[in-house]
Amino acid sequence: MTFRLLPEWAPQDAVMLTWPHKKTDWVDILAEVEPVYVTLCQHISQMQLVVIVAHDETLKAHVSQLLSNAGVELSKIIFVVAPCNDTWARDHGPLTCANEQGELCIKDFTFNGWGNKFAANFDNAINKALVKHTAHCTNQYQSFDFVLEGGGVEINEHGVLLTTSECLLNPNRNPNYDKQSIESLLEKELGAQSFLWVDHGYLAGDDTDSHIDTLVRFAPHNTLVYVKCDDQNDEHFTALAAMEKQLRSYKTTDGDAYKLVALPWPKSVFNDEGERLPATYANYLIINNTVLVPLYNDSHDAFALSQIQSAYPEHTIIGIDCLPIIHQFGSLHCITMQLPRGFLK
């Protein structure tokens, strides 16, 4: 019985967040970052539940007070108390698959801190706590030694899996696997029926080795939403132009070209140390009937919203100021993980 990874626009029970705290790298900017998390909870809780992983009971109480003060209905919040190294739920969270009968299988892949760049021992244990405390008893659960992050894969309604060779073929993930063996594993465990490998494109300041969710995203009806750099003087121009050329060469399962929707290129953003931060409009989150889009106080914000609206015409599009988030080298999609309909008790 084949289980297939669900597209992000499939109906959802909840979105999972792992809350930043004083023992993470967020410590110096918590005052700027927590309001972004609160805003996310305000919007998500209008559509579905929010599952919040809290490092300890003290943080749970603190977050409860923040949300209550912001008018968020705490009945829409489910807390899971579990220690965490960091807060990138997209990459330590579960990947959920469904079969034709609508049964779910929760896949818990290994998270190794993007190739052992950062400690991940607590983060890698979060899914077991999540499943124990929140998952419906009828759902299957499987854990794997294979390293895979949610930000590294996209899938559409036709079972086409989209990823980057820079990430999935990187020896810091699964050094004993080649491209063919990775495809075989993802066919079996995620139900992928075909693959699109993106061989070009990156973001300066990105620790993930070019996660696909920073560069190219699927939308329904054979649509690819991607970042496009028009500035020939920008360091990304050549790689992203090569990526766009490759996207134009892709064919759908019916043999047609994909519809391409280009996202604008925000102006360069740097931190106090002069490091370029990975601002990308592609790092949006799809929830029930809505798409939440990261904004960067940039002149291109409005056009990014309109382009994403064209890719998801049946969804409401809402912008979220994510400038504070990119100071830890990720954005909106990176800090969230959707939990599909039927996941929760």
Please give the Cα distance from 182 to 86 (Å, whole number): 27
What mean pLDDT is predicted for residues 56-79? 98
Question: 272-283 pLDDT, tens per residue?
Answer: 999 999 999 999
The alpha carbon torsion through 239, 183, 110, 139 (nearest 10 deg) reads 120
Which domains are delineated in the chain? 4-340 (3.75.10.10)
Please give the Cα distance from 206 to 202 (Å, whole number): 8
Q: Residue 57 corresponds to which amino acid? A: E
Q: Which residues contact 301 (CB under 8 A, 6 or more apart)?
A: 266, 295, 319
Question: 88-145 pLDDT, tens per residue?
Answer: 999 999 999 999 999 999 999 999 999 999 999 999 999 999 999 999 999 999 999 9
Please give the Cα distance from 218 to 192 (Å, whole number): 14
Q: Which helix (H) or strand (E) holds 44?
A: helix 30-44
Q: Give 160's strand partners.
A: 194
Angle at 177 between CA 185 and CA 171, to 5 degrees: 130
Note the pLDDT of residue 195.
Answer: 98
Angle between helices 57-69 and 30-44 (to 10 degrees): 70
Question: 288-325 pLDDT, tens per residue?
Answer: 999 999 999 999 999 999 999 999 999 999 999 999 99
